[in-house]
Copies of this chain bind each other. A is one copy, B any other.
Amino acid sequence: MKLQHVVESQQFTVPLLMELFGRTRQMEKIAARGGTNDYHNRIMATLFYQPSTRTRFSFEAAMYRLGGRVLSTEQAGFFSSEVEGEQLEDTIRILGGYSDVIVIRHTQAGGAKRAAQVSKVPVINAGDGNGGQHPTQALLDLYTISRERPIEGLSIAFIGELDRGRTVRSLAYLLSKFERVKIYFVSPPEMQMKADILEHLEEHDVWFALEQDTAKVLREVDVVYQTRIRPERLTDRGSHGRYTINASVLQTMKRDALILHPLPRTVEIDKSVDEDPRALYFRQATNGLYVRMALLTMLWDEQ
């Protein structure tokens, strides 16, 4: 059960998820006392071809809380000579001589897999392409839910621009491994979840429904997974309010529902929601630190 790379969420079996979540609980405690020095001679390289300060900081903070060091790029694509034709594979081979793990955010779906195929050190996919994956986000999402309730039997609504949502894609793969999960995809028709995910769910006998109406769904589900909506992408420009969570929508939701969001948000969750105990999105972001600490130890530890 040794973990070699973290490329896509499908690779995580339920036992592997259970081990990860157990370690993550440990990491919460370790981080609370400022971290450990156990991995002081490990070096992480963060190779980001797309900028994301939050995701990068989350990985780098995880490394620091484990005692290690970080080689960091804010925007490898903008700055490196790869624009002149350098091969990703060559870069990965070279960085493997300088570091003990490579965290890559690539612009194209499959970029992380290409990196893992040639790398002599573990590779972690920190998001690749709009139609690609973001497996560590899905893992921290699932961990956040699992801290509150069992995944089995869960009902969840994904809301937003689902056609471009790599976090939703990755989480849907994970949920399909659990029994009796019900998934609602709530989105304007022109942005609905793509066919490959729906087919995967059918193959795994996961119940799902495609919806446009949030009102009906929100009062039923255990988890509302909200994602970004850019009003300018909507065919019906003024309609983004129909997908927004605000104080009045809150009143229709279950008392013990959980509201998640991968962040950053814009208009789709009103600030008045932040103080509601069901709003978990900031805790969710902090959980990313612990999950990434746990993943790093799983990649390095003998098993």
Q: Identify the A interface with B (CB < 8 A).
A: 34-35, 37, 40-43, 45, 47, 51-54, 57-58, 60-61, 64-65, 69, 71-76, 78-82, 84-87, 90-91, 93-95, 97-99, 230, 263-267, 282, 285-286, 289
Contacts and interface: CB of A to CB of B under 8 A. Distances in A.
Given A64-B69, A81-B52, A57 B264 contact: no
Given A80-B51, A85-B266, A264-B91, A74 B71 contact: no
**A contact patch SS:** mixed
Contact of A264 (B51, B87, B99): B87
A41 B264 CA distance: 28
7 contacts: A57-B95, A58-B98, A60-B71, A64-B69, A74-B75, A90-B264, A94-B286
Contacts of A285: 93-94, 97
B84 A74 contact: no
B53 A73 contact: yes
A57 B99 CA distance: 9
Contacts of A45: 57
Interface centre among A41, A72, A94 (most CB of B within 10 A): A94
Nearest to A283: B97
B289 A81 contact: no
Contacts of A84: 230, 264, 266
A91 B55 CA distance: 11
Given A41-B65, A52-B80, 10 more contacts: A51-B81, A53-B76, A58-B98, A60-B71, A64-B71, A85-B266, A86-B265, A94-B286, A98-B286, A98-B289
